[in-house]
Amino acid sequence: MSPTKTASKVAADLDTPSDLPRDATDKISKTLNVLLADTFALYLKTKNFHWHMSGRHFRDYHLLLDEQSEQIFATTDDMAERVRKVGGTTLRSIGQIAKLQTIKDNDEAYVPPREMLRELMNDNKHIAAAMRKAHEIVDDLKDSATAGLLENWIDETERRTWFLFEASRQEGGNED
């Protein structure tokens, strides 16, 4: 194994062939693994709020968060597989997710519905911004396949942000 292969710690049996240079593979993998950790954190927070929703808009918000959590979770496999396709390795544990995630957990016993929606809206905005930065990185590395995936994920994330914004608006007083 070459010194660059050793530095990236890819086992020979997992060293997927790629035309990308090893340093590009390492940068892409690192970038996508942080996004993946944040995606898992956002998924779990969305499910947490889905499970603990209350109030007069319970059904609408409960269904919205269930739909969004399914969409978020659906991207995890594509992200992880993209890392493997370019020759990197991906997340292996909840502990690794906790080390990499930039989305803050919410362990509060009770969060009012509007605050839940606003927190998720801001988390989705955070992830969209991180995806845009990732897009710049993969563009610089000439990885058009990852860039294309990121464009779709950004669009989905912006849609979630929009829906959360609209659902959290207070029209004519307290909606909770």
Nearest C-alpha neighbor of 27 from the set 150, 143, 154, 153:
143
Q: What is the pLDDT of residues 80-111, one digit of tens each?
A: 999 999 999 999 999 999 999 999 999 999 99
Number of compact structural domains in the chain: 1
H helices present in 52-112, as ranges: 58-85, 94-100
Q: Average pLDDT in the 30-37 region?
A: 98
79 found inside a domain: yes
41 part of a folded domain: yes
CB contact at 8 A, 128 and 154: yes
Domain housing 42 = 20-168
What integer is the mean pLDDT of 65-88? 97
The answer to whether residue 82 sits within a structural domain is yes
In this structure, is residue 87 part of a structural domain?
yes
CB 138 within 8 A of CB 86: no
Q: Is residue 5 part of a domain?
A: no
Q: Does any domain span residue 72?
A: yes
In which residue are the tokens 């779709």 written?
152
Kindly state whether residue 6 falls inside one of the protein's structural domains.
no
Task: Give pLDDT, residue 5.
Answer: 37
Mean pLDDT, the chain, rounded, equals 91
Is 78 inside a domain boundary?
Answer: yes
**Eight-state DSSP code of residue 105:** P
Assign residue 61 the CATH number of its domain: 1.20.1260.10
